[in-house]
Amino acid sequence: MDTRTDAAVFGGRRVHFIGIGGCGTSGLARMMRSRGAFITGSDEEASDVTRALAADGIEVEVGPPAASIPGGTQLVVFSAAVQESNPQLAAARSAGIECLNYAQALGVAQSGRTAVSIAGTHGKSTTTALLSHLLIEAGLDPSVIVGAHCPQFGGGTRTGSERIPTGALRGEPGIFVAEACEFNRSFHAHRPTLALINNVEEDHLDCYGSLDEIVKSFRAFAGLLPAAERGGKLLIAHEGAHRRAVASGLACAVHTFGWSPSADYRVEFIPATNEGALHQGDSCLVSWRGHLIGEHNALNAAAAAILAAWLGASWRDIQRGLESFAGIDRRMQKIGECASPNGARFTVFDDYGHHPTECERTLAALRSAHEPSRLICVFQPHQHSRTRFLLEQFAQSFGRADLVIVPPIYFVRDSELERTRICSEDLVQRLRDRGTDALAIDDFGAITDRISADARDGDLVVVMGAGPVWKIAHELVRRHGAGARAAATCPPRAAASPTE
């Protein structure tokens, strides 16, 4: 393992990013520049992100990939969306230039830091952003890379102090909080000091093949933590994370959290009042009434609170941060209030959920918190393989919706053969078989028209998925809303993992 700090690895070097427009890659590029690197980049599509990078003085080439890289480049970092056949990547390899994928470069950037990696099938972005907010509120000045836009710290990335400025760990290497995505085992490149495993479920079966292999992969990730005497700590969910298979026999310290009285940290949540509490033994460490709804977010908040305390935040600062955190874009994000042409008033939300468990929990939280007259879900499946592997789970996850509208499956990463094996109509039929009102509509514009024409007073519309389906929510509010928020600064790039 390279033990040099990121300043030593990147300082003064000329680094070229291929696919620099991703949330994670753009954040890492900014962070490397702050550590002394000279950054250039390329991306096939212009976006708000590439324009912002250019405005900050980072040279970004937009368009089809060239067959050359900028002169003097010493290191190439490429997004997970970039194929090995990419002409720029091929040119760099043929020239003998060191090439790192995003996860590998992130791992190097964690060297010499108090690194915190946030892993799990669900909740990574929310927990990463929330922990970062708690640390900022506590004056601990972390560096952060999160795969979503967090308005409270100005985006998906920030560069913090070289040394922890206050608290019990004052003077230790600066804190660096980052998501740890399991897709393609990329989190095996991380170099964490502390880590969280929120939950472990079937997903990314196109690269794992079985739940057993996923559990083994999380076990390998947990094994990256240093021994307890060197500060290594793992926080793992007491329920739903296969904790015995993942964490037994590790050299690091292991602590559990969850609903069970036998967990090291016990969580309580009252949905009716949105109040949470965290206990250790007979002591209540912190209680809060936050903005995030749903039991899953109570667990996310508890995990963030525990990690913040481990890093030196006071419980008073943690409580203040839990109660002031306003959330991140595309996670049960209210886009606006609308009035349809027929006068019906309805509310529009946007959400990134693209796994059955995420969909079910989001719908349950929205129904409980808002009690709509109807809950309408526009769900765009993400990947044909995921939809096929988890079809029955998806069919069960929309029971709380009054109507589910399914546009075509977003085609990404899969083969053309996989594309022929399943379509949105297959999911619609399974939903109908289970008694859920559902229909397939091929065009985003037609979906917007349908909702606009059929809306009733008190409807709640949630647009859900990891692809470009978010455009429907913003178009509804553009047409019929007042005071609508702008579209997310960094909408997910479905060809890559959320963190890349």
Q: What is the CATH number of the domain that holds 147?
A: 3.40.1190.10
Residue range(s) defining the domain that contains residue 116: 112-324
Is 66 domain-assigned?
yes
Residue 114 has φ and ψ, to the nearest 5°, of -85, 90
Is 319 a residue whose pLDDT tops 50? yes
Give the domain CATH number at 421: 3.90.190.20
What letter represents residue 197's amino acid? I
Is 4 domain-assigned?
no
> For 348, what's the count of Cα atoms within 13 Å in the CB-facing half-sphere?
31
Please identify, among 66, 89, 105, the residue that sits at the C-terminal boundary of a domain: 105
Spatial neighbors of 345 by CB under 8 A, at least 6 apart, are 337, 338, 339, 457, 458
Domain count, the chain: 3
Query: Among residues 204, 205, 153, which one has the least CA distance to residue 181?
Result: 204
Which tens digits make up the pLDDT trace of 44-77? 999 988 999 999 999 999 999 889 999 999 999 9
In the block, residue with structure tokens 């033990």: 3
> Sorting pLDDT into bands at 50, 70 and 90, what band is 490?
very low
Is 1 domain-assigned?
no
pLDDT at residue number 147: 84
- Model pTM score: 0.91
Q: Do the beta carbons of residue 116 and residue 307 sit within 8 Å?
A: yes
Q: What would the mean pLDDT of 394-403 be, rounded to a whole number? A: 96
Cα 64 to Cα 472: distance, rounded to the nearest angstrom: 28
Is 492 domain-assigned?
no
Which tens digits make up the pLDDT trace of 160-190? 999 999 999 999 999 999 999 999 999 999 9
Please identify, among 71, 105, 139, the residue that sits at the C-terminal boundary of a domain: 105
Q: What would the mean pLDDT of 373-399 be, rounded to a whole number? A: 96
Is 191 domain-assigned?
yes
Q: Do the beta carbons of residue 153 and residue 136 sit within 8 Å?
A: yes
> Sorting pLDDT into bands at 50, 70 and 90, what band is 313?
very high
For the chain, what percent of residues have pLDDT higher than 70? 95
Q: Is the domain of 92 the same as that of 136?
A: no
Cα 302 to Cα 459: distance, rounded to the nearest angstrom: 32
Q: Is the domain of 212 the same as that of 69?
A: no
Which tens digits make up the pLDDT trace of 219-264? 999 999 999 999 999 999 999 999 999 999 999 999 999 999 999 9
Spatial neighbors of 262 by CB under 8 A, at least 6 apart, are 238
Q: Is the domain of 293 the same as that of 184?
A: yes
